[in-house]
């Protein structure tokens, strides 16, 4: 009897869609396409030589340990180091507050597994990170959203939403993916004050914090929490903080972390044990040795310089080649900017034509959990060279101009 | 308002228990305890030098690629190589049938996410691998079990159970964890015949196949499937096969794979994308280069020799030091054997005393999804040296003898 697999799938899989956009984006991986669609770091700035030297020494000195099973919680020296770094940034945490994850994406999945029941409502920015929507879809999350402007999430309606008690708030405070926007200090303070009052947790996804090109660094949300009590296991606040090595070292090693109250960490550890036992020992020890040797800190200014140059190249090309009624954000860091077309334009249709011209981006609809954003697009500036950025934006500007005159 | 995290947890977390056994087993990680409790490979046989040389060359020649994001499906050359190996073993599959996972444990988690609805019944061996129970608990699996004997799963009642249409059958055919037993050829053939007739999928968890010390290798279940149709995407049978590099290369790199019909693989890829985006590029390329250079094949006989010696040491020590009314399996490979005490004895209580004597094992109850097995224990023989095995079994034999006389 032949098995019809689609009749075997669990109900939750009906919420895991293979979007038309994802199919279209496969075309953008062809080698001659200039793609602003991905979220790839510039591979030419990976510290390959240093990673090679460190991994060589690591395998010589501790090979058997690096290749053996290890604790679900993560490599303890790395957890200690991350706890120290968070404490120096103003969030007094201990090793018991830190769980190493297989990339920040796994942090999102584990939070969904442990916190999200079918029908739970989450409060998100609109637009927000598509990967979080994918992580939480199988667990049955639904969304209420607030819009954002140049100061990040707009909080005018926050209290009204908090009164409906969403399970948690999901926010990317720095150089947000996809918009490139940063939450202002005043809004951070108000957000913490109001959520403390209502007892609503915040998931702070802070992948891009270290990629600031200009302006002052703002305190993380977790550092603004005033702890009402504390114990031997450190932090007891309501902000869950997600960090990652993807943007400051390498995304291909898939290494992130969660900082949260120890009680929640214990439950996340149980969930992780059933999910993948532990994150690779080798990559954890490698990241630890890279940080300890100072190689990560000395590497960050290089990344910032390269990305600043590319952002500037994209901003200049946009001014030169995009129609006058298109607007875009001016991110002070990160990897993305966000363009808004005239209301009547549909960026998904533009992508179809853009791919013919061998240039790509992600249509904004993909980042809107409750719909909308048909006239928006995410543009990545970290991966292509300034020359390619100029060429790609030129092509894209031509497509936009053509579609505008066709619509007239 | 202080958040009570335990009131925030999703309902599924009530099925993720932190067992008393796990707490007890933490004590066994103290350095002076001889532990037969874990499932650790012998670290002294990891091919550290070769991994070091290969990773050095890999980073020199393809560093930026090895450190960059990559496809959710996995590193294509590695998938092709695994498809070839499976085809040579009699299962004609293509690259579209292979998904790389973050260890076999992630294969179990993804299968749960995609196939298991709350209340679904799975057919498992009793005893069976505890990690699978942990992976599927959050998705709400319940179990019906069949017992096993020296020829593996006992199939007398198979048809009666298949008529109730379990979602799938979970089986470890070779040197099963925890029992060390192997499913006989006749039973493999009957199992495939009956499940084909009823259209019930099999999940074949084949972590230990390559660790055979003696006797003839038996065909995998996936190789026994007679495909009723085939297409460009290769395999269309009802057996889902899980493989891993944990036992033949390194468990600390967390690298496994799933072989399944392409339609199911597509859905698993969607689930994996939300779970961790992809398995680390670096470790995948490393494993690929290790296999391609022949280092994995030339390494396996060394592992077999070391484990055979340790199994023999444990069998000899058991004969010498265990009471006469205790029986145990004689595995022809793998990492575990399984001891059965007289019915009135409780191995959990024995563990409490054993830990005082600085020797440890896992009580058999942990491996029984529907209860039972209080008088059984899993003993790992791959991790400790023959001398430690002799010393540990001697101590354990003394504890058993003492408890027997106390009970009299």
Sequential DSSP letters for B260-328: --HHHHHHHHHHHHHHHSSS-HHHHHHHHHHHHTTHHHHHHHHHHHHHHHHHHHHHHHHHHHS-TT-EE
Beta strands in B44-185 (DSSP E): 98-101, 121-126, 142-149, 152-153, 169-171
**Residue A63 sits at the chain B interface (C-beta within 8 Å):** yes
Q: Which residue has the tokens 């979970």?
A: B170
Q: Which of residues 154-183 of B touch A (CB under 8 A)?
A: 167
Angle, CA B278 vertex, CA B273 and CA B280 arms, to 5°: 165
B52 and A59 in contact by Cβ < 8 A? yes
Determine which of A1, A5, A256 to mutate to test the interface with B (most B C-beta atoms within 10 Å): A5
Size of interface A-B (CB pairs under 8 A): 263
Please answer whether residues B37 and B28 qualify as being in contact, where contact means their C-beta atoms are separated by less than 8 angstroms: yes
Distances (CA, A) of A307 to A51, A220, A234, B223: 21, 22, 36, 51
Q: Does A233 touch chain B (CB under 8 A)?
A: no
* Beta carbons of B109 and A6 less than 8 Å apart: no
Tell how strand A256-259 and strand A98-101 pair up.
antiparallel
- For residue A197, the chain B residues in CB contact (below 8 A) are 1
Q: B349: distance to nearest CA of chain A, Å?
A: 24
- Confirm or reject CATH 3.40.640.10 for domain A65-296, answering yes or no: yes
Q: A50 in contact with B at a CB cutoff of 8 Å? A: no
Domain A5-47+299-407 has what CATH class? alpha beta
Fold of B5-47+297-407: 3.90.1150
Q: Please tell me the predicted confidence (pLDDT) of residue A408.
A: 67
Domain at B68-296: CATH code: 3.40.640.10
Q: Which residue of B has its CA nearest to A117?
A: B10
Q: Å from A40 to nearest chain B CA?
A: 7
pLDDT (0 to 100) of residue A232: 78
- Note whether A110 and A258 are within 8 A (CB): yes
- Split at pLDDT 50, 70, 90, the class of B2 is confident
Can you give the residue ranges of every domain in chain A?
Answer: 5-47+299-407, 65-296
Contact B67 A55 (CB under 8 A): no
A276·B106 Cβ contact <8 A? yes
**Closest in B1, B43, B201 to A68, CB measured:** B43
What pLDDT score was predicted for residue A246? 96
Q: How far is B89 from chain A (nearest CA, A)?
A: 23
Q: What is the residue whose two structure tokens read 């077309």?
A: A341
- Show pLDDT as tens, one digit a residue, over chain A (408 residues): 789 999 999 999 999 876 566 666 676 677 889 999 989 999 999 999 999 999 999 999 999 999 999 999 999 999 999 999 999 999 999 999 999 999 999 999 999 999 999 999 999 999 999 999 999 999 999 999 999 999 999 999 999 999 999 999 999 999 999 999 999 999 999 999 999 999 999 999 999 999 999 999 999 999 999 876 667 789 999 999 999 999 999 999 999 999 999 999 999 999 999 999 999 999 999 999 999 999 999 999 999 999 999 999 999 999 999 999 999 999 999 999 999 999 999 999 999 999 999 999 999 999 999 999 999 999 999 999 999 999 999 999 999 999 888 776
Q: Is the pLDDT confidence value at B20 over 80?
A: no
- Contact (Cβ atoms closer than 8 angstroms) between residue B163 and residue B155: no
CA distance B104 to chain A (A): 8
pLDDT band at B405 (very low <50, low <70, confident <90, very high): confident
Side-chain-side CA neighbours of residue A357 (13 Å)? 19
Q: Which of A2, A10, A61, A66 to probe the B interface (max B CBs under 10 A)?
A: A10
> Which residues of chain A from 12 to 31 reach within 8 Å of chain B, CB to CB?
12-13, 16-18
Confidence of residue B185 (pLDDT cuts 50, 70, 90): very high
Residues 6+ apart with CB under 8 A from B1: A196, A197, A198, A199
In this complex, the residue of A63, A115, A282 whose CB is nearest that of residue B8 is: A115
Q: Does B250 touch chain A (CB under 8 A)?
A: yes
- Rounded to two decimals, the ipTM of the complex is 0.96
Does B5-47+297-407 match B68-296 in CATH topology? Answer: no
pLDDT for residue B397: 97
Among B1, B4, B5, B74, the residue to mutate for chain A (most A Cβ within 10 A):
B5
In this structure, are residues A41 and A224 in contact, taking their beta carbons and an 8 Å threshold? no
Per DSSP, the three-state class of A188 is helix
* Helices and strands, number each (H, E), in chain B: 13, 14
**Mean pLDDT of the region B91-101:** 96
Cα–Cα distance measured from residue B16 to residue A114, given in angstroms and rounded to the nearest whole number: 9
- Tell me the H-state helices in B175-294: 185-198, 221-224, 262-276, 281-292
Given B16, B228, B273, which is nearest A274 (Cβ)? B16
């Amino acid at each position: 009897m032949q098995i019809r697999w689609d009749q075997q799938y669990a109900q939750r899989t009906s919420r895991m869609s293979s979007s038309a956009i994802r199919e279209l984006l496969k075309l953008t991986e062809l080698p001659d396409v200039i793609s602003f669609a991905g979220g790839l770091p510039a591979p030419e700035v990976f510290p390959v030589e240093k990673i090679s030297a460190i991994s060589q020494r690591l395998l010589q000195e501790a090979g058997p340990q690096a290749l053996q099973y290890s604790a679900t919680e993560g490599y303890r020296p790395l957890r200690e180091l991350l706890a120290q770094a968070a404490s120096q940034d103003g969030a007094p945490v201990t090793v018991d507050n830190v769980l190493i994850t297989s990339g920040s994406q796994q942090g999102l999945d584990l939070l969904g597994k442990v916190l999200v029941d079918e029908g739970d409502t989450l409060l998100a920015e609109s637009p927000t990170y598509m990967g979080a929507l994918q992580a939480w879809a199988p667990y049955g999350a639904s969304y209420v959203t607030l819009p954002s402007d140049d100061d990040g999430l707009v909080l005018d309606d926050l209290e009204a939403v908090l009164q409906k008690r969403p399970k948690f708030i999901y926010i990317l405070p720095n150089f947000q993916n996809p918009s490139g926007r940063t939450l202002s200090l005043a809004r951070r303070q108000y957000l913490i004050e109001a959520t403390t009052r209502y007892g609503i947790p915040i998931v702070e996804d802070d992948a891009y914090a270290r990629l600031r090109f200009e302006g002052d660094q703002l305190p993380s949300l977790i550092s603004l929490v005033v702890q009402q009590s504390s114990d031997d296991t450190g932090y007891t606040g309501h902000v869950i903080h997600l960090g990652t090595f993807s943007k400051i070292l390498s995304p291909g090693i898939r290494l992130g972390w969660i900082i949260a109250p120890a009680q929640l960490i214990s439950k996340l550890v149980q969930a992780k044990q059933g999910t993948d036992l532990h994150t690779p020992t080798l990559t954890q020890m490698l990241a630890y040795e890279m940080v300890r040797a100072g190689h990560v800190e000395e590497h960050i200014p290089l990344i910032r310089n390269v990305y600043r140059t590319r952002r500037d190249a994209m901003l200049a090309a946009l001014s030169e080649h995009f129609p006058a009624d298109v607007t875009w954000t001016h991110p002070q860091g990160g990897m993305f900017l966000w363009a808004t077309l005239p209301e009547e334009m549909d960026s998904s249709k533009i992508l179809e034509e853009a791919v013919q011209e061998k240039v790509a981006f992600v249509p904004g609809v993909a980042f809107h959990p409750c719909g909308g954003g048909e006239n928006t697009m995410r543009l990545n500036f970290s991966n292509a060279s300034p020359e390619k950025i100029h060429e790609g934006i030129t092509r894209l500007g031509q497509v936009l101009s053509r579609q505008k005159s066709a619509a007239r």
